[in-house]
Chains A and B, each alone.
Chain A
Amino acid sequence: MKAMIRGNESIAYAFKLARVQVVPAYPITPSTLVPEKISEFIANGEMKAEFVPVESEHSAISAAIGASARGVRVGTATASQGLALMHEVLFIASGMRLPIVMGIGNRALSAPINIWCDHQDSMSQRDTGWMQFYGENNQEGLDLGIMAFKIAEDKRVLLPAMVGLDAFVLTHTVEPVDMPEQSEVDDFLGEFKPNYVTLDPNKPATLGSFGFPEHYTEFRFAQWVAMEQAKKVIDEVFEEFEKKFGRKYRKVMPEHTEDADIIFVTMGSMSGTMREYIKKLRAQGKKVGMVKITVFRPFPKEELIEALQNAKVVAVVERNISMGFAGAVYGELAATFANKSKKPKFVDFIVGLGGRDITFNTLESVYKVAEKALTQDVDDVNWIDVNKEAVYKSEGLQ
């Protein structure tokens, strides 16, 4: 069945189709529509779930942990400051190995306050032990939302997962999607039976206890092992989904990479713009390709090495910045290749912060530097579409 939905609705529908039982959530632009839609589904009797209208994002994720520990399927959604407010509790959700799924409307962080798209919010949570998926469009939001439960709940994984969709570009944009039937999703996910220790008066257990130095590292290593296992489970679930629903997902999606000298690395909605731009460059005979990263945690090192190793220049195009170093994707990619004798030249491009549009002109500026990098050294970090003169002046450098 075709449906016309906004990105936020793709998360809400994923929760409904997954028969999520508890949704604790706090509204924040641009993900507010998720709890609104859940509230509507419940009010209409279309969804049987408890919506907990908490008083903060910190309590949203805390209540999500309490509910998940009680042995029900739990979903929530947030963005930006809300995700930052959750920060300390995100570690606890993953440390307690609870398969919570959270939709993220990827949005910039203050200051200055800004409600529009970039990836700083979830990139800043990359060390919290959550799996991270990024959708290019609303169909991916819906599909990844459903698959996230299956991956997170796999006995070999038991880790929470975030599904990121770009603020406004996707969260508020209506797109046609293939809406799976309830019976198909029921069949794909199976009935939720917690395969972890829960809060059950018939079998009392202590959850969230105090770990001394003689045990703490083993708990952390177990999370590492689970994240490594997730790589395989993600592949299995993607393949099963493809067989059942006909849509192909991979941790990284290479396009035109076989003969490419320059490969662009993208995430999220900018991938569509990049695809069109590559068509244009290819028509001019330029050997360019792209790799879209769908799964950022666990970081798909093996697939990225495979996809990028023959390029001369890898242009990482990203909507986040770690001040004083570089973008997160660039840093991780460069580290992924650190011990390879054969490696491309990596160049980082910071684009589209705080909702600044990523246009063909943006990508052309990126391409010019990447092309130059084929023959000479260029800056490792390149800020694109920024009024540098104004900034240098205000910082007293001119």
Chain B
Amino acid sequence: MNYENEEFFAPGHGMCAGCAAPIIVKWILKWAGPNTIVANATGCLEVATTAYPRTSWRVPWIHIAFENAAAAASGVEAATRAKGEKLNIIAFGGDGGTVDIGFQALSGMVERGHNVLYVLYDNEAYMNTGIQRSGSTPWGAWTTTSKVGSANPVGKLRPKKPIAMIIAAHNAPYVATANPAMFQDFKKKVQKALSTPGAKFLHVISSCTTGWRHDPSKTVEIMRLATDTGIFPLYEIENGDIENMRITYKPKKFKPVEEYLKPQGRFRHLLKNPEYVKKLQEDVDAWWARYGHHYHP
């Protein structure tokens, strides 16, 4: 059945104007339909959508704590099996709850092969507590715990964890990166994930106007630039077969990384030094030199 005209994520929540997370959640729920249970890690999405006694969730929803959405989903799934029922179980976590504090629970869930779709909405820092760096913050980003100053003109000094690759290395049946700005690709991947049995993982880029410091009207534009510059490539990996990953979108002509950096306050300092921009461009070029041949139109 097609539920695209129904809303399972109700308006009236407290997410910021221009936040990409509600776009991601709203559409995933439409594609999943009402026969769905959601487990949510602590984070903006949880806090801003469930202020008791109100809720934005028109499907059953559970939140336990920060680091255990994958474990909560594992329990929901085990009980669903015990009851002999079939439904979509979806876990939503931000990058803190997924690549850092919730990493162990996620790894366990994937290794055990629970029939759960885990969705990481990656806004690349601990935004709920006020823009602190995470393992998913990219090199060179300013955050409130990777501050920029005379002794550290760069900001975050370490690169982003390749979480999709890491989860794929668990031999998960389906892992993909997705971008809500690349809507048809996003939809295809969600539907494919939902129809694949076992533990699926979607790494979805999710702009945060507050933390990335951009105009709220530019959300989709900036997320599209993330992929059109090659910074956030879109690919899928089945059954851990990283050698045969499939890049699902390749810009006809890559845009220079500056175009992605320019509208975001978190990167403002990088633009003052051409070396930094060059480094980022080289990183992107290196990724595509290594993996680009996996694009098969």
Contacts and interface: CB of A to CB of B under 8 A. Distances in A.
Interface residues on A, range: 35 or more
29 contacts: A22-B75, A24-B71, A52-B74, A52-B75, A58-B68, A58-B71, A58-B105, A62-B64, A62-B75, A63-B71, A63-B72, A64-B75, A65-B62, A66-B64, A66-B72, A66-B73, A66-B74, A71-B79, A72-B82, A89-B65, A198-B60, A199-B60, A204-B60, A207-B61, A208-B64, A209-B55, A210-B50, A210-B52, A215-B53
B65 A24 contact: no
Contact of B67 (A58, A64, A204, A206): A58
Contact of A69 (B35, B62, B67): B62
A64 B64 CA distance: 11
A254 to B, nearest CB: 41
Interface string A55-76: 1101110111111111110100
A60 B61 CA distance: 19
Nearest to B72: A66
A163 B112 CA distance: 28
Interface in B230-287: none
Most chain B CB within 10 A, of A50, A72, A208, is at A208
A63 B67 contact: no
A72 B83 contact: yes
Contacts of B37: 70, 199, 201
Contacts of A65: 62, 64, 72, 75
B78 A50 contact: yes
Most chain A CB within 10 A, of B37, B59, B62, B73, is at B62
B120 to A, nearest CB: 18
A61 to B, nearest CB: 8
A328 B186 CA distance: 56
A214 to B, nearest CB: 9
Interface residues of B, number: 44
A78 interface: no
B78 A63 contact: yes
A53 interface: yes
A178 interface: no
B75 A63 contact: yes
A63 B71 CA distance: 5
Contact of A66 (B52, B59, B79): B79
Contacts of A53: 112
B192 interface: no
A72 B84 CA distance: 12
B13 to A, nearest CB: 11
Nearest to B114: A52
B78 A201 contact: no
Contact of B79 (A56, A70, A212): A70
Given A22-B79, A199-B37, A204-B58, A59 B64 contact: no
In the A-B complex, the 5 residue pairs with the closest CB atoms? A66-B75, A55-B108, A63-B75, A70-B79, A62-B71
Contacts of B60: 198-201, 203-207
Given A55-B111, A65-B72, A215-B53, A70 B80 contact: yes
A54 interface: yes
Nearest to B61: A206
A324 interface: no
A374 interface: no
Contact of A24 (B46, B67, B75): B75
Most chain B CB within 10 A, of A55, A88, A200, A211, is at A55
Nearest to A59: B71
B25 interface: no
Interface of A: 21-22, 24, 49-50, 52-56, 58-60, 62-72, 74, 88-89, 92, 96, 198-201, 203-212, 215
B218 interface: no
Nearest to B77: A66
B57 A206 contact: yes
Contact of A201 (B35, B77, B105): B35
Nearest to A92: B64
A337 to B, nearest CB: 38
Contacts of B210: none
A201 B32 CA distance: 12
Contacts of B111: 55
A56 B104 contact: yes
A66 B39 CA distance: 8
B171 interface: no
B50 A209 contact: yes
B68 A22 contact: no
A210 B46 contact: yes
B65 A210 contact: no
B34 interface: yes
A203 B61 CA distance: 11
Contacts of B82: 21-22, 49-50, 67, 72
A54 B74 contact: yes
Interface string B114-157: 00000000000000000000000000000000000000000000
B214 interface: no
Contact of A88 (B58, B65, B105): B65
B213 interface: no
A60 B50 CA distance: 25
B165 interface: no
Contacts of B87: 201
Contacts of B34: 201, 204
B89 to A, nearest CB: 9
Nearest to B37: A199
B104 A55 contact: yes
Contact of A208 (B58, B62, B80, B108): B62
Contacts of B76: 66-67, 69-70, 199
Contacts of B73: 66
B81 interface: yes
A199 B70 CA distance: 16
Contacts of B74: 24, 52, 54, 59, 62-63, 66
Contacts of B104: 55-56, 59
